[in-house]
Structure formats: structure tokens, C-alpha cells
Amino acid sequence: MDYEKLTRVMRDLALAGGDKIMEIYNSDDFEVKTKSDSSPVTEADEAADEVISAGLRAEFPEIMMVTEEQAHSHSQQADIFLIVDPLDGTKEFINRRGDFTVNIALVENGIPTRGVVYAPAKDRMFFTLADGSSVEEAGPFQQGHIGDTRKISVSTPDNDALIVVASKSHRDQATDDYIAKYNVKDMTSAGSSLKFCLIATGEADLYPRVGRTMEWDTAAGHAVLNGAGGHVVRFDDLMPLRYGKEGYANPFFIAHATGVSLKNA
């Protein structure tokens, strides 16, 4: 695998997808449809998916690709695959809250090893370098040219004063009950895969997810967090979260900085 090329291609395609998304986000109105699983989908999801999918297939035709917006891809299986959520946080997009992202990742033998998370409305871009370490790039962003980057890494958490990040759109009592097991200094909320990135940059220590997610929702953020020294584990047994599962559905999970004393479910 040419990881240098992969880094450049994923980053540029995330930008291209983000441009499509923002064109529609900044318009006066946009269409919202409902998928078979009752989740919303917009023309922005579809437009970003088209440009990202075409780009990945052109550059990496030998690698299987799974994308949220192409249901036929969900029945495929491979040890190495690309996985895409062209617009993660559709509810944030619909409500014009800005906390939505473009997610592209490479999974190798069950582990997300490379990824990019781009939040176009927030002007934040996180991605893994060829060596697997993670950086945040400062804007403005340009196609074909990586600007100034800074290495990111998880914080050294204080288990008596943790910073917890939780979902804006999916917060529930089960999540609150689990968070109550910890000594929490501060709570913050974020949409989409930005929650992983806040841990990766040291802005938060812990993100428990007690709810349904799919692998395309989490793989890119997981890769960025891995590259910053963090971890994502299953909620039930605290074992590493794996990818390439049949149907690509995730169990509940916990994303955390190294050093957080995890509590049992």
C-alpha cells in the first residue's frame, strides 16, 4: 500500500466532498429524504458520495470500498477495504448546526489504520500521515497542497477530573448513567466523528456511545484517534473494536485517551 498516495487522495477527496456539501448547506433550501432504515439522507450526502466514490475507485481500483450511500456495497467482505461516510451527522446538517463531517478510512485486518475527518463548516481537518500518526491541518485548505499541520496526541487524563464528550443528537439516559460512574470535571457535546477528534487533540478524555452506529460512522475518527495514541473498545467487554463485521454494524463502544480508568458497563 502506498500510504503517501493514500493520504493525499483521501484528504483531497474529503475536501471535494466538503465543497459539494457546503454548496448545498449554504443554499436557501435542500431536499431531505428518508432511507429504508428511517434515517434521513439529503442531496448533500449523495453529491459528496458521488465525488468521493468516483475518486477512490479511480485511484485504488484494487481495494474494495464500502460506503453508506451505496447499499450494494454493504454485503461485501474483505480483509482490506476503504470505508466512507460522505456526510456524517446528517441531522446536524439538516438543523444547520455545523457539526458534520466527511469521513474516509482504510481498514486493514479489522483495524482502521488510516483516515481523514473533515468538518467543512467548522474549518477543521484531521488525518493520518503515511506513518499512521495523526495531525490537524490549519486552514484555509487547498486541493493538492497540504498546509501547515500540527501533530496531535491524546491528553494525560486526570481520573478525578475527566472531560467527557457526548453526542448532540443521540444523548440518552443510558449514556448519562454510564458517565455518572466517572469523576467528571466538564462535559462537552459534539456531533458526528468530531467526538473522536476532540479526544485525539486532548480536548476531551472519554466518549461513551451507548447506541447504534455503523462502521462508516466511526472508522475515520477511530483511525485518527489511534494515530494520536487513543483507543476505542467495545462497551461490553472492553476489547478493541474491530471492523469488517457482517452488516458493518457496531456494538456499543467507548473511545478514550490512554490512562482513563474504564468502568464496566
Which pLDDT score is estimated for 49?
Answer: 96
Q: Are 230 and 199 in contact (CB under 8 A)?
A: yes
* Alpha-carbon gap, residue 105 to 227, rounded angstroms: 12
Q: What is the mean pLDDT of residues 177-186?
A: 95
Q: Is the pLDDT of residue 36 over 80?
A: no
Q: How far is CA 229 from CA 45, 245, 261, in A?
A: 30, 24, 15
What average pLDDT does the chain have? 93
**What are the boundaries of each domain within the chain?**
3-151, 162-256
**Residue 187's pLDDT band (boundaries 50, 70, 90)?**
very high
Domain 162-256 has CATH 3.40.190.80: yes
Q: What is the CATH number of domain 3-151?
A: 3.30.540.10
* Alpha-carbon gap, residue 38 to 197, rounded angstroms: 27
Q: Are 111 and 242 in contact (CB under 8 A)?
A: yes
Which pLDDT score is estimated for 181?
Answer: 96
What are the tens digits of pLDDT across the range 115-160? 999 999 999 999 999 999 999 999 899 999 999 999 999 999 999 9
What are the tens digits of pLDDT across the range 190-247? 888 999 999 999 999 999 999 899 999 999 999 999 999 999 999 999 999 999 999 9
Which pLDDT score is estimated for 35?
Answer: 65
Model pTM score: 0.94
* Alpha-carbon gap, residue 101 to 104, rounded angstroms: 10
Q: Is the pLDDT of residue 38 over 70?
A: no
